[in-house]
Amino acid sequence: MKIEKVDIVVVGAPWRELTIIELTTDTGLTGLGEVRMVNKTDTLIAAIEELAARYVIGMDPANLTRLAWQIQVGEYGLPGEVGQSALAAFDMACWDILGKELNVPIWKLLGGKFRDRVPAYANGWYQGDRDPKIIQKLAKGVVEKGYRGLKIDPFGAASAEISRSERKRALTILEAVREAVGPDVQIFLEMHGRFTGAAARAVARDVIDVEPGWLEEPVTPTDITSLRSVRQSTHLPIASGERMHEAHDLRPFIEEGLVDIYQIDLTHAGGITGLQQLVGWTNAYNVLLAPHNVCGPIGTAAALHFSVACPNFMILEHFNDFADPWVFDIVAGAPRIDPADGCFAAPTAAGLGVTLNREECSKHPRTGGRLALFSEGWEKRTNVENYTEGKQS
């Protein structure tokens, strides 16, 4: 079996563009991959087209480690976010083909079922003004959908420093969320790498009584010195990893015990194969994996299959119930959480278990929408104008 065709479809929304690929083999089997590239969709498409012509057309979809070597090593230049994301799209689609060929869900090929239920937490739900009463009402809606965890960045457009009044505002929002969801729902604090070490330490002190499930990227992901100072100043768990793209990126954090939960995104880290290679390493150091997932239903399905089989899995991120909920319709078989327990069920269909609906995709053309975390109003995720250059701080 050989791959003979690569198609690219881009689905647009005000704050993200989903780059979808479909591989077709000479036997008629097809496989899907999906990447939400942060603000560089054109760059990703160019990489997919160039690498597909060089390595993917004509390959056996089973030769995944060889494909990874070609892109990561054979190209000589370091792959980085773009190369690893292109590889992830190919890898995901190849796994989909292999599952279909063998007529089994992908998790059966990853070591089998470790769990029947995959817990999820909500993101993208706080699309309102930074008013505690507004955010509190939105948080109640998350719990009503069944989620037992939710994530929030209450810091507005803060960068590096944050004033005492803004810290108080953020804390008031978090306290309102805690009041809304009760003591047993996890609140994960997203810090988006905004802060200096000093500012992050101050925030960590402020939020102790809210008891967040983790502090996510309290400082920029490459600032090991500042992260070390945060680690030493708080007992709260630290999460990071969505901007770590290759295995060696984790090395200093693992060796120093700086991170408790690794949020590696399989769509930016070489796909299912890339993330699967990290399972034994992270498990040996007694740390958890909570995959970052800002994709539509195809990327979510890939992360779900991985999560079913991963022994040191914690929880899976999910946007699609709150940000662009129409995105479920771009495929048949989209994964959805069960409102009874806030979990995904283990998939049963062959491959990824989803089928592309091209007609629905065509209803949502590219928008140019992007994530601009240091612009006022970014958290609303509803208006492309929130992301124009003129509104950058």
Amino acid at 95: W
Residue 22 counted as domain residue: no
C-alpha separations of 302 from 156, 261, 309 in Å: 31, 20, 11
Residue 362 counted as domain residue: no
Give CA–CA dist 127/97, Å, rounded.
Answer: 37
pLDDT digits (tens, 9 = 90+) for 109-146: 999 999 999 999 999 999 989 999 999 999 999 999 99
Catalytic residue ranges? 192, 292
Q: At which residue do the structure tokens 């299959």 appear?
A: 305
Please tell me the least confidently modeled range out of 238-247, 350-359, 366-375. Answer: 366-375
Neighbours of 333 (CB within 10 A): 14
pLDDT at 28 over 60: yes
Residue 263 counted as domain residue: yes
Residue 390 counted as domain residue: no
Residue 207 counted as domain residue: yes
| Burial label, 377 (beta-carbon count in 10 A; 0-12, 13-18, 19+) | middle
Amino acid at 168: K
pLDDT at 371: 82
Residue 259 belongs to domain with CATH number? 3.20.20.120
pLDDT digits (tens, 9 = 90+) for 136-151: 999 999 999 999 999 9
Instruction: Record the tokens describing residue 350, joined without a space.
Output: 């062959």
Residue 92 counted as domain residue: no
Give CA–CA dist 393/382, Å, rounded.
Answer: 19
Residue 364 counted as domain residue: no
pLDDT at 392 over 80: no
Helix boundaries (H) for 148-246: 164-181, 197-206, 224-233
Residue 265 counted as domain residue: yes
Give CA–CA dist 98/68, Å, rounded.
Answer: 16
Average confidence (pLDDT) over 310-332 = 96
Q: Is 355 helix (H, G, I), strand (E, B) or coil?
A: strand
Average confidence (pLDDT) over 237-260 = 97
- Our count of domains for the chain comes to 1
- Which residues make Cβ contacts (< 8 Å) with residue 129, sequence separation at least 6? none
Give CA–CA dist 267/19, Å, rounded.
Answer: 11
> What percentage of the chain exceeds 90 in pLDDT?
91
387 contacts 377 by C-beta, under 8 angstroms: no
Nearest to 170 by CA among 185, 180, 155: 155
Domain that holds residue 198: 108-351
pLDDT at 116: 98
